[in-house]
Structure 1
Amino acid sequence: MLLSLKKIPASGTRLLLLAIPLLFPLLSWAIHPNAAGFRAAVVKVDITPEKHQMLLGYGARKSTGVYDKIYHRIVVMDDGKTQFVLVSTDICLVSPSEYDKVAAKLKKQLGIDPVNFWWNFTHTHSAPEVGPPGLPAIFLGDRYQHQFDTEYTEMVERKLLDGIQEARQKLVPARLGVGWGLSQANINRRAKDVDGKAYLGMNPDGPVDRRIGLLRLDREDGSPLALVSNYAIHGTVMSGSNLLISGDAPGVVAEYVEQKLGAPLLFINGAAGNLAPIYSVYPSPQAGKLSQFRVLLGDKVLEANKSITATTSDITLKAAGLIVETPRKPELGWTDDLKNYTRTTKAGVNLVRLPVRFLQINDDIAIWSAPLELFCEISNEIRDRSPFPYTFYFGYGNGWLGYLLTAEEMTHGGYEVTVSPYTPAAAKDLTDSVVNYLQGKK
């Protein structure tokens, strides 16, 4: 429609002429929604409790103090069309029902769809419980003879929501880079005796994943905004004898890299179901040589960061999800708060409904995530079969639905089998579903 200035009074004409320069940017954005370009922000929020807390991981025990602080680290990325939230929290895990609760609040308060909200956990075994136990109560009922601390849980939730809101308000033009690194800070922990039985220990000949997957976010001027480091390692340098709150190896590594880099590091664990730190289950940080992980893993993250020489502001984000259904162990019970994560077929077979998330960044980066303690052979195979040159698995994502082992490893028994709801079919069901999805995107 053409507008004739002749029909508008002189005063109105002047107002219109003044308004036109203000309207053009809005019209341009409406026609080209990516015109604003790629933006990002990062926020780090302290969630260290003031009171003693029940710690998750190992047997039930209460903290007596703090060795190092624990945090939410929050990154928001915005390509002008999709806004994506990634969170790394220094706790062991939560029930998927706790994720659902927070995701619903986030959708209501900030309009962020759950598919664009990933909440990952570093899996430190020296941090407080958050929310109801969920599936672990089925396997380890004796451990949960107490109520979780609702006051601390509400604080963790509130600080997460406030932190995401703050990050959205701090979005700045940004650039993104990607790369690989390598660290030998982990080891297969499925030790086997002559009878073939598996035990928690060390297996230097067992499968392992020592790759570091790295995303780097820079400001427009090239200064670092944030790092996202993906590495598979249990947060078990310290044993159940330790009663001091700590981020364990992931937390120590994150703090060290941040001091060196001058920007926050989101430590995102990988397929660590059968991978322990090379120093594992010691009674104290000193006995476990916790500080050495600054060199063993922290310096390797910094080296990988230096190898990223190219970044771009031309970014497209595509988030999606699918449900993988696989049979659960016969006669295994379930918890009421996880009723959306199971169903029974007409033939009476109980299934686990496993939510898998995907984030595609441009044409070369594919990230997938699941609420699993996954064995590394599975993520290694998926990465090898993926058509994307950078394929990362973000573990402990949006909750915890148990260990998922390969069919071969299930025959050896061991602790992980006792806390898995899955049958030997699960590894193939998951692998085929994820690979088919990734291959369908190329």
Structure 2
Amino acid sequence: MSTKPDPTPARGGSAGTTTGAARLRVGAARTDITPQDLTGLHPMGRPFERVHDPIHLRALVADDGTTEVALISLDLVEAGDMTPVRRRIEAELGIPFDHIVITATHTHSAPRIGDVSPGALAHAGSQQSLAYTATVYDAMLETLRTARASARPATVGTATGSADVNINREVYSDGEWILGFNPEGPCDKAVRVVRFDGLDGRPIALVVNYSVHPTVVLGTGEVSADLAGAACRHVEDHFDEQAVCLWTPGTIGDQAPRVDLGLPFGAAPDARQAERAYRAMEAQGLMVGAEAVRVAEGITRGSSTAPISAGQRTVHLPCKAGVDVMASMRQQRTETVPLRLALIRIGDIALAGVSGEVVTEIGERLREASPLADTLLVSIANDRIGYIADDARFDRPVHSVRGCPIVRGHAEDTIVGGILALLEESTR
């Protein structure tokens, strides 16, 4: 079956707007989206019983006088098809549909939002989660309005550090592939940071990109932003709550937290188990957050003339059924599944979005092929269709292959080639 590309043309500033002394303006805002009623909101495991720490929506808007883009990060396990809210943002705020990237931190101790795309392998939404989705969509619009109202002349810079908080989780044991801890497996430990400052040198926002599953406190039965939220809280506290820290998930498809205490999944842990898990969450969040701060403080000469471009495309790829996936996963049987690719380019910094949980090797291949040294792959961008495994991985029945909704030989080349094509368009 051949692939069917369906590129979405850019509007409100084409993907090729990269000339002239573009004056950068940036605004950011944060909103608490902790649900008041927890009934029916846990997409996996036993129901939520209480809130441990709040979850947030963080938004950034940037424009160069011609082109405006928006990035939204949500403390949620997954955001499904974000087409309806992106259309609403375009209609009400004028930010073009294909200039908007919405991602989730992938904390497993929070609800999901959005519809499940046909063919996608995702946790089933409930009536309550769809109602919660509507409240989050409203919050997106208001947070973007606040961010836009706060926008001011800015500079942008980027740098990379490292944190040993993740570990490959695909392990061969007793004749089968299981989820565990594989220190010999591929693992990207880079902490990639994009810093936006006002012209006074004070930070407006930081985008942090790291590759790990925030699953440290899964099993507590409590709402939590997990280690991603702990990292963002540390960054924001360090900058006296003046900066907004947006967590973007990197190549998370095969990455676990290094310290995961394995809380019981279907039964309540005892108080001491839960306390230890939260200590592990805070410690690992601190490690990534502190490294992000260290990296950010080393970015001293940002550019104020960074032209912005953006583009997206959807490619319908041959669909395969998931095998041995969680009982809460649902998949509509279809011939194809939509893979959504996105690009936000600010100067020579690229945020490359993919609508699934991408594995390490695909991210490595993309960065090696990209003409831009600062290329950040963002998983779960504008949709979450399942795991996205590289072609070679299909020789092993690992978790990321069993949970991949795309037939072998289609996803890897489509992602790398599609993002490279968007990058090429951005230079025209």
Same fold (TM over 0.5): yes
Tell me the distance in 2 between the aligned counterparts of 1:331 and 1:282: 24
How far the C-alpha of 1:53 sits from its partner, in A, is: 3.8
Aligned residue among 97, 111, 129 for 1:149: 129
| Kept after mapping to 1: 8 A contact 2:42/2:48 | no
Look at both structures and tell me which one has the larger radius of gyration over its CA atoms: 1
Match of 1:123 in 2: 106
Q: How does 1:137-286 map to 2 (within 5 A)?
A: 144=124, 146-193=126-173, 195=175, 197-239=176-218, 241-262=219-240, 263-280=243-260, 282-283=262-263, 286=275
| Kept after mapping to 2: 8 A contact 1:52/1:64 | yes
User: CA 1:429–1:83 in 2, change beyond 3 Å: closer, same or farther?
Assistant: closer
Letter paired with 1:173:
P
| Kept after mapping to 1: 8 A contact 2:47/2:221 | yes
| Kept after mapping to 2: 8 A contact 1:53/1:128 | no
Q: Per-residue displacement from partner, 1:297-329 (whole Å, max 9, x unpaired)? A: 111111111221211111100101223343222
- Larger RCO (CA under 8 A, 6+ residues apart): 2
Match of 2:276 in 1: 287
| Kept after mapping to 2: 8 A contact 1:132/1:148 | no
How many residue pairs get aligned? The number is 389
User: CA 1:310–1:73 in 2, change beyond 3 Å: closer, same or farther?
Assistant: same
Tell me the distance in 1 between the aligned counterparts of 2:111 and 2:337: 27
| Kept after mapping to 2: 8 A contact 1:65/1:244 | yes
Letter paired with 1:412:
R
Tell me the distance in 1 between the aligned counterparts of 2:111 and 2:64: 35
Aligned residue among 35, 49, 56 for 1:64: 49
User: CA 1:270–1:150 in 2, change beyond 3 Å: closer, same or farther?
Assistant: same
TM-score where L is the length of structure 2: 0.84
Matched, 1:48 2:39: no
Tell me the distance in 1 between the aligned counterparts of 2:40 and 2:245: 26
How far the C-alpha of 1:381 sits from its partner, in A, is: 1.1
User: CA 1:135–1:172 in 2, change beyond 3 Å: closer, same or farther?
Assistant: same
Aligned residue among 287, 310, 315 for 1:324: 315
User: CA 1:67–1:206 in 2, change beyond 3 Å: closer, same or farther?
Assistant: same
- The SS at the match of 2:78 is coil
Aligned residue among 37, 40, 62 for 2:23: 37
Match of 2:268 in 1: none
Matched, 1:112 2:95: yes
Q: Per-residue displacement from partner, 1:201-225 (whole Å, max 9, x unpaired)? A: 1110001111111110111110111
How far the C-alpha of 1:440 sits from its partner, in A, is: 6.7
Tell me the distance in 1 between the aligned counterparts of 2:65 and 2:115: 37
In structure 1, list runs of 5 or more residues that go unmatched: 1-32, 337-341, 343-349
Q: Per-residue displacement from partner, 1:341-400 (whole Å, max 9, x unpaired)? A: x7xxxxxxx3333121112222x2222101111111101111012111111101111110
User: CA 1:125–1:294 in 2, change beyond 3 Å: closer, same or farther?
Assistant: closer
Aligned residue among 272, 288, 291 for 1:300: 291
- The SS at the match of 1:200 is strand
How far the C-alpha of 1:58 sits from its partner, in A, is: 3.5
User: CA 1:37–1:150 in 2, change beyond 3 Å: closer, same or farther?
Assistant: same
In structure 2, list runs of 5 or more residues that go unmatched: 1-18, 264-272, 324-329
How far the C-alpha of 1:51 sits from its partner, in A, is: 1.5
Match of 2:363 in 1: 379
Letter paired with 2:217:
M
Letter paired with 1:261:
F
Match of 2:344 in 1: 359
How far the C-alpha of 1:109 sits from its partner, in A, is: 1.1
User: CA 1:297–1:334 in 2, change beyond 3 Å: closer, same or farther?
Assistant: closer
Letter paired with 1:198:
W
Instruction: Name the one with the larger helix percent.
Output: 1
Aligned residue among 50, 73, 79 for 2:64: 79
User: CA 1:203–1:439 in 2, change beyond 3 Å: closer, same or farther?
Assistant: farther
The sequence identity of aligned pairs, in percent, is 28
| Kept after mapping to 1: 8 A contact 2:53/2:225 | yes
Match of 1:13 in 2: none
Matched, 1:89 2:74: yes
User: CA 1:437–1:153 in 2, change beyond 3 Å: closer, same or farther?
Assistant: closer
Match of 1:417 in 2: 401
Aligned residue among 385, 408, 428 for 1:401: 385
| Kept after mapping to 1: 8 A contact 2:354/2:415 | no
Letter paired with 1:209:
D
Tell me the distance in 1 between the aligned counterparts of 2:147 and 2:20: 19
User: CA 1:281–1:102 in 2, change beyond 3 Å: closer, same or farther?
Assistant: farther
How far the C-alpha of 1:36 sits from its partner, in A, is: 8.4
Tell me the distance in 1 between the aligned counterparts of 2:92 and 2:404: 35
TM-score where L is the length of structure 1: 0.82
